Structure 1
């Protein structure tokens, strides 16, 4: 490990030391509580509809770092102990609903999206609080639900059994990053291919720093969810397949955007193992993928660019990294408020640049930094990012979060990923 990595780890550990975390054994049992709900609305509104609450047998998260310290995500949920009013668990996340709200369609109709939040199972009465980020960057409470762990309406059925193989890792779930790879578009006779695909795609991710340095702290599960048909939906070509978690190209009518709206099936399958992150591996050679912070990442298994796409999408899902491109086709309109600092660690509006990567810049680097040959290999502040050519700035002229030309993350993205790894493994 080089000096830079040692310094980064020391910095992160010192920064976490100032935050008080809760005692897991005092507040929680070693299993999960899952809350499912629908989030609906349009470009100007959102409403939450309760669906179900259930107990699940595994807890894959840290038992040390339970309260989120990053402030990432367009949404956040908190679990508050009723007796003490103490926040005992919290987590930020992104959603397809929030992305859809910025599309032209959301100005015309209302839609509802299935949501799932998973947390450790509380021993005592608690309050679930769901928050949404407003246009000014602040968080507002949009829904609460009171939880009595002894309530007999909390479903306790075992998850539908899905065969799985632990392909990599020997660490305890609470001290490791556990990734549940979901088979999508693989028939019963294609599971040998699926296991080989998981090893290969996980290898792609571990080839990229800083994942390579922490490979032994990851557990990789291959969950063999069987699809009736091989492949996935391609609506723009009138191709429709019956698959395990109902993935589809042409999400929001963007042909390469490969996602699923079926978060219920996704979490039903994942409940068979302890997990921190879900990765949907899709049995197709067509280019595509997607990633949603603290929900899931997805990509094609067999495309020529799957090496590049897998870690790019995992950067979204695992570390909350933003897209740094600004000229590609997207469905979003006015995605960022240029008057505030975006929460993602790898883009800035310069409104509060002190909180981003200013500490990593050389004193001689101009801010903003021109996109010229002189600064082609310089860490700087280059205009363009987050789907916008003006007002948003990114750390380098090209990065894995911008294009498929780059094999590795830039230093800013790498540092952000490392912080999340250390948080998840409880260090």
Structure 2
């Protein structure tokens, strides 16, 4: 009886996968449509300005899981088939613009940020809908654009060639997580160092559970984007370097925050390979990095804490994990609305805790859970997280998403990461 049940489950999975692939073949070509736009505004407003549409030669995503099932991200884009009005693709994401909106500067002026969304190339006319999460947690449409895939104004030139090496992985693109590592601040003479750094940092990622369990399902590409100068900008010390994707410390005037606003350059470089995730590896030994859900991740290549930081930032970029610390300097003011449940899987305001890790708690664990030695290794509900000491709760007393003291993700974060891996590889 057990054998028959197992066979039945296998047949169900196979049928589901075939159905997903049929849908992909019905609506999409196996290449990428890229939509570039500017997202501008201030703390209370946002406007979208179309820049261009491009056809790119590779599709790095799943051909089975086409509709976002997580509901993560401050933004989401959806693609509808015009003829049937069927939702055929969707994806949530974060951006630097959304973070900037919570800074003091955004209360005084308007700014615009470059944004890129990629999706499989539609065979027929489609409707692109961009949504933004409001303060009350609901999503609202902020822009819509009809896409005719035969439009000759869709740019179809070949990507500017960037040499690359596949340093890890032998799986098919549609059944793997494809990470494009971009060289930043590496001169021509330092490209061999970059390739060695990618192998090392990718090894750091794959060493951390649950990534280690699925290491064979990751394809790692090292894109050799050469910089004129070595290193990166440090504005607080008047250091400026001419580099491939214009990274900088002091993002939003936080010294350790190491990011780039040059999203166009990132995607121009990555167009040479199939990719799910972008990782900017920066040739510096200073402590720093950044990570944004389905946007990109970044970190210093040579800091003594690169092992810890690399996977922390990828936790943001890949799985949408929130920061669990609450006593470090950040640029944000009132980042979370305490009256609604945050979308991130590893923090809660207790408004809808049933949707989070309540099922992982032991019945004897008090809620809220005191931060005392007696519960040091216990999954609980500890006040403090999401940049706030009050009103936001996290699953454990310390986690990779809280501090560099903890080498591994907590069980709640691990579960969220594993769910995301399975989604990407089509299982």
TM-score by length of 1: 0.96
1:3 alignment counterpart? none
1:181 alignment counterpart? 181
Shift of 1:374: 1.1
| Structure 2: unaligned runs, 5 residues or longer | 1-8
1:62 alignment counterpart? 62
Shift of 1:69: 0.1
2:270 alignment counterpart? 270
1:111 alignment counterpart? 111
1:361 alignment counterpart? 361
1:203 alignment counterpart? 203
2:39 alignment counterpart? 39
- Distance, in Å, in 1 between the alignment partners of 2:242 and 2:358 is 49
| Structure 1 SS opposite 2:142 | strand
2:411 aligned with 1:411, yes or no?
Answer: yes
1:396 alignment counterpart? 396
2:298 alignment counterpart? 298
- Distance, in Å, in 2 between the alignment partners of 1:42 and 1:270 is 30
- Distance, in Å, in 2 between the alignment partners of 1:166 and 1:227 is 20
- Distance, in Å, in 1 between the alignment partners of 2:84 and 2:210 is 39
2:333 alignment counterpart? 333
- Distance, in Å, in 1 between the alignment partners of 2:260 and 2:388 is 25
2:317 alignment counterpart? 317
2:225 alignment counterpart? 225
1:145 alignment counterpart? 145
- Distance, in Å, in 1 between the alignment partners of 2:295 and 2:135 is 22
Please give the per-residue CA displacement for 1:45-66, whole angstroms capped at 9, x wherever unaligned.
Answer: 0000000001000000000001
TM-score by length of 2: 0.96
1:136 alignment counterpart? 136
- Distance, in Å, in 2 between the alignment partners of 1:62 and 1:47 is 30
- Distance, in Å, in 1 between the alignment partners of 2:209 and 2:374 is 26
- Distance, in Å, in 2 between the alignment partners of 1:329 and 1:167 is 36
| Structure 1 SS opposite 2:189 | helix
2:25 alignment counterpart? 25
| Structure 1 SS opposite 2:242 | coil
2:160 alignment counterpart? 160
Please give the per-residue CA displacement for 1:23-77, whole angstroms capped at 9, x wherever unaligned.
Answer: 1000000000000000000000000000000100000000000100000000000
- Distance, in Å, in 2 between the alignment partners of 1:119 and 1:301 is 30
Shift of 1:373: 1.2
- Distance, in Å, in 2 between the alignment partners of 1:294 and 1:44 is 24
- Distance, in Å, in 1 between the alignment partners of 2:218 and 2:161 is 23
- Distance, in Å, in 1 between the alignment partners of 2:80 and 2:248 is 37
- Distance, in Å, in 1 between the alignment partners of 2:102 and 2:221 is 34
1:282 alignment counterpart? 282
- Distance, in Å, in 2 between the alignment partners of 1:372 and 1:103 is 34
1:7 alignment counterpart? none
Shift of 1:295: 1.0
1:73 alignment counterpart? 73
| Structure 1 SS opposite 2:297 | strand
Please give the per-residue CA displacement for 1:175-211, whole angstroms capped at 9, x wherever unaligned.
Answer: 0000000000000110000000000000000110000
- Distance, in Å, in 1 between the alignment partners of 2:296 and 2:25 is 28
- Distance, in Å, in 1 between the alignment partners of 2:329 and 2:406 is 19
Shift of 1:390: 0.4
- Distance, in Å, in 1 between the alignment partners of 2:290 and 2:95 is 11
1:170 alignment counterpart? 170
- Distance, in Å, in 2 between the alignment partners of 1:295 and 1:176 is 18
Q: Which runs of 4+ in 1 moved over 3 A?
A: none
| Structure 1: unaligned runs, 5 residues or longer | 1-9
- Distance, in Å, in 1 between the alignment partners of 2:242 and 2:128 is 35
Please give the per-residue CA displacement for 1:124-172, whole angstroms capped at 9, x wherever unaligned.
Answer: 0000000000000000000001100000000000010000000111111
